[in-house]
Structure 1
Amino acid sequence: MTPRERARKQLESRRDDLVALSHSLHAEPELAFEEHKSAAKIADLMDGSGFDVDRAVCDLPTAFTATYGTGDLVIGITAEYDALPGIGHACGHNVNGASAAAAALALAPVADELGITVKLLGTPAEEGGGGKVYMLERGAFDDVAAAMMVHAAPFDMVGMSSLAISAWNVAYTGREAHAALAPHMGVNAADAMMIAQVAIGAYRQQMPPGTIVSGIVTDGGQAPNVIPGRATAHYECRAESLEALTAHKDRVRACFEAGALATGATLTLDDHGRDFADLRQDATLTDAYRASAEALGRTVVVADASTRGGSTDMGNISHVMPTIHPLVGYDCGDAMMHNPDFTRFGTTPGADKALLDGGLAMAWTAVTLAEDPATRTRLLAEVAARTPVSAR
């Protein structure tokens, strides 16, 4: 029996466990850095399957690693499991996390034969915070030669890029006053936010192609007869590269500063987690994944150079090591990710098949990397020559 056949047989034997995992993650969605149950569900499954599990790694309570094998070629598989506020797993991360576990479990019986170490990395807070970036900075990826994951979507696609992103927690501090008796005694923080939003709206006409700004106001006052002394918001800036993001952020920052200048309020801009880099997918890994997915009967769209998704902290990983982040699809009606309607499709038979196919396609991709002498040599040489991010 070939390594691919053994991996497939292993995955089939764990099908019920993996589908149950996906459904359980979906039923109990948890937000960024609060995924205690979700992380434990995946870590417990790996622990019970003979993996060496380390929990709360990198000073992150909901991060973990699970390793199997002792080979010199370390294959990193990243598991996502955080959800979105109010709409649960409209991100599809229950499928992402279960697919990662599926790939790791499928590879375990062939790890020694292939001379690989399977490393499943539980990465929290992809939807806001950037768990992968923290884990990269703190050494969890230092030994990883190639990294991979799949992301739930309405279709299968390989090779797309993503936008770099930076997020802020915005706060204006003013002074409360009676809105009728003494409005002149107040400093209106909500007006400062309004002026900033108008300035951002005016800036949109001159935004370079590929740049985006979006946000929500999270507090604009408590009573109409009180001048708001505090207003807060959560804003995101996106651009096609980290370099373009820097210039874009400067312009958006100026808009927020305008609100403070016009009203006399005090502005605070705090980073919300780490910046995400644009995604760069490795061509060799992409070709191997596409061939594996198509061998399973899936129809895979190949993205062109202009195709970009949203934003992902997998982008930061891709700037350091060969990485893939393909989409694995299932019928979602006319819903897209981050739409409440997408959530209800996350435990359908189509989603279950997608998580299993995505996991097996990743496992077969790892087999291809390990068995191809040229690719294996390249990956080992690159990881040996790389200065670990944690040591920079």
Structure 2
Amino acid sequence: MTSEALLARVDGAIRDARAQLVSLSHDVHDYAEPSFAEHRAAARVRDELARAGFDVTETVADLPTAFTARFGSGDFVVGVCAEYDALPEIGHACGHNIIATAAVGAGIGLAAVADELGLTVEVVGCPAEEHGGGKVLMLERGCFDHHTVALMVHPATADADPATTFTQGVSRFAATFSGRAAHAAAAPTDGVNASDAAVVAQVAVGLLRQQLPATARVGLFVRDGGQATNIIPERTIVDFEVREFDLERLRDLSRRVHACFEAGALATGCTVEFEETEPEYAPLLQDARLARPFADAVRGLGRTVLDASDMTGGSTDMGNVSQYLPSIHPMIDVKGSGNPPHTRAFADDAAAPGGDEAAVDGAIAMARAIVEVASDPGVRRDLLAEQSARAPYATSAVATSVGTRS
């Protein structure tokens, strides 16, 4: 079968499924379940894949809302990542309903040509991208060890060339200051004020920002700062995160920010303890062998692909996957939106016609890219050779450099 015939079959299978894909996207959007609680969304996505003939396995990697769905038996194993967690209070303001739907659509399209291309298509249900690092946990537990490539698509306000799109790594922590309670009016000198320690730390972080490169980000908030005005607070908890585009710079930034919290403790006589609250998200690496055919496929759908090298900020646990095996995490435009993600307006747009079109076009573009890569003898040979030489994640050099938290 010619490449044109394969692409036509892929396109036809996805377009024939458009009605159920749009229904799936709207259902997941309505559920809007947060990280690790995506029970209805995961079940809805699994059921759609089962109806399409995929062999579904629930509760993988000891995660109740993670799953895999497989079709085919070829040596070229494609992992298509589905996300379906929502943000607290503002729902699918990152459009994960579109991500899940595009993954299902791409799976359906690739299943139509799996035999001809020697593919195994595996849609990987990945919980807790927003908070919790579902893909990191799945990586550490071997869920991506058998994949040749992995990919997903993310909604945005432009069709960005994946070759120019990168994300920051992020590390998240909680700092707990411990002091001594006292009556704030009758015996304030008997107290050791944990809230003051947090204030000193926040001032230190604010001053540090002047010395940081433009690529760095530091965010924080006081989660627990006391209970009453007439009690010197004996405990204060500050959640904070650091972001950078390079792992070495990320860890250096983390050390500098930790020192700000240690300074708060030293200045006030408190103690401070740190807890890593989520797995570290690594910076994203876009594989050029997948990025170019994806961008070409998007152009073939009548969209304009933009250089996104000036777009900075944001992190994803797909970065960890991309550090281990060839991957892409491209952006697709929600036409008519113009609203930035993580806003209520973008949540509305994710279930509007522009969101529906993004889900279907994203599915087609991913499937077309895989058809091109798997049909190219040289690229296919190289990718399979890399897979054969790759150690299981738990013993890989990537796991050592990024770190494991099983």
**162-171 or 258-267, larger mean C-alpha shift:** 258-267
Give distance in 2, aligned partners of 1:108 and 1:97.
17
What percent of counterpart residues are identical? 48
Q: Does 1:181 align with 2:186?
A: yes
User: Residues of 1 paired with 2:66 and 2:174: CA distance?
Assistant: 23
Q: Deviations over 1:221-266 (max 9, x none)?
A: 2222222222222211011211111111000000011111122222
Q: Secondary structure at the residue paired with 1:165?
A: strand
- Cα deviation 1:3-34 (Å, max 9, x = unaligned): 21111221122212111111111112121222
In 2, the alpha carbon distance for the partners of 1:329 and 1:17 equals 21
Structure 2 residue 45 is matched with structure 1 residue 42:
yes
Q: Does 1:261 align with 2:258?
A: no
* 1:332 CA displacement: 5.3
Higher mean C-alpha displacement, 31-40 vs 283-292: 31-40
SS of corresponding position for 2:280: coil
Contact 1:173 1:229 in 2 (8 A): yes
Corresponding position: 1:318 with 2:322: yes
Output the amino acid matched with 2:47. Answer: D
1:293 CA displacement: 1.1
Residues 26-50 of structure 1: CA distance to partner in whole angstroms, max 9, x if unpaired?
1121212221222111112112221
Q: What is the distance in 2 between the residues matched to 1:335 and 1:187?
A: 46
Residue from 332, 335, 339 that aligns with 1:331: 335
- Find the counterpart in structure 1 of residue 388 from structure 2: 384
The separation in 1 between residues aligned to 2:189 and 2:339, in whole angstroms, is: 49
Correspondences of 1:148-163 after superposition (within 5 Å): 148-158=151-161, 159=163, 160-163=165-168
Deviation, structure 1 residue 307:
4.5
Q: TM-score scaled by structure 1?
A: 0.96
Select 1:370's aligned residue among 364, 368, 374: 374
Cα deviation, residue 333, structure 1: 4.2
Change over 3 Å in CA distance of 1:273–1:332 after alignment to 2: farther
Which residue of 137, 151, 166 corresponds with 2:171?
Answer: 166
Asked if residue 140 in structure 1 is aligned to residue 140 in structure 2, the reply is no
Note the alpha carbon deviations across 1:359-390, whole angstroms, 9 max, x for none.
Answer: 11101111111111111111101100111113
Q: For the Cα contact (< 8 Å) 1:128–1:272, is it kept in 2?
A: no
Which stretches in structure 2 are left out of the alignment for 5+ residues? 397-406
**Alpha carbons of structure 1 residues 280 and 308: separation in structure 2 relative to 1, 3 Å:** farther
**1:139 offset after TM fit, Å?**
0.7
In 2, the alpha carbon distance for the partners of 1:143 and 1:376 equals 15
Matches within 5 A, 1:24-173: 24-158=27-161, 159=163, 160-173=165-178
Query: Which residue identity is paired with 1:318?
Result: S
**What amino acid does structure 2 have at the position aligned with 1:142?**
D
Q: Write out per-residue CA displacement over residues 78-107 of structure 1, whole angstroms, 9 at most, x where no aligned residue.
A: 111111112111111111111111111111
Q: Is this contact kept in 2: 1:168–1:234, CA < 8 A?
A: yes
C-alpha distance in 1 between matches for 2:376 and 2:187: 77
Query: Structure 1 residue 275 and structure 2 residue 274: aligned?
Result: no
Amino acid at match of 1:324: I
Does the aligned pair in 2 maintain the 1:54–1:66 contact within 8 Å? Answer: yes
Give me the whole-angstrom Cα distance separating, in 2, the residues matched to 1:110 and 1:291.
Answer: 20
Aligned residue in 2 for 1:10: 13
**Greater mean alpha carbon deviation, residues 334-343 or residues 190-199:** 334-343
The letter for the 1-side match of 2:34 is: L
Alpha-carbon distance in structure 2 between the residues aligned to 1:390 and 1:55: 22
Separation in structure 1 between the aligned mates of residue 384 and residue 42 of structure 2, nearest angstrom: 30
| Conserved? CA contact 2:337–2:354, under 8 Å | no
Separation in structure 1 between the aligned mates of residue 274 and residue 23 of structure 2, nearest angstrom: 42
Q: Deviations over 1:154-182 (max 9, x none)?
A: 11102211111111122222232221122
d(CA) in 1 for partners of 2:308 and 2:213?
22
Cα separation, 1, equivalents of 2:339 and 2:384: 41
Which residue identity is paired with 2:237? T
Question: SS in structure 1 opposite 2:324?
Answer: coil
Letter of the 1:150 partner, please give it: V
How many pairs does the alignment contain? Answer: 391
Range with greater deviation from structure 2 (36-45 or 253-262): 36-45
Following the alignment from structure 2 to structure 1, what is the Cα–Cα distance between the partners of residues 158 and 215? Answer: 23
Q: Is the 8 A contact 1:332 1:342 kept in 2?
A: no
Q: Which residues in structure 2 correspond to 1:181-330 (within 5 Å)?
A: 181-304=186-309, 307-330=311-334
Q: Does residue 326 of structure 2 align to residue 358 of structure 1?
A: no
Which letter maps to 2:179?
G
The superposition leaves residues 104-156 of structure 1 with CA deviations (integer Å, 9 ceiling, x where unpaired) of 11111211111000011111111122111111111111111111110011111
Aligned-partner Cα distance in 2 for 1:223–1:37: 40
| Deviation per residue, 1:266-287 (Å, 9 max, x gap) | 2121112211111111112111
Secondary structure of 1:274's match?
Answer: coil
Shift of 1:339: 2.0
CA shift digits 1:286-339 (9 cap, x unpaired): 1100111111111111334x6534111111111111111110111354421112
RMSD: 1.5
Which deviates the most, 221-230 or 287-296?
221-230
8 A Cα contact 2:81 2:126, kept in partner: yes
- Following the alignment from structure 2 to structure 1, what is the Cα–Cα distance between the partners of residues 307 and 148? 24
3-state secondary structure, aligned to 1:344:
helix
Query: Could you tell me which residue of structure 1 aligns to residue 402 of structure 2?
Result: none
Q: Using the alignment, how far apart are the partners of 1:197 and 1:41 within structure 2?
A: 43
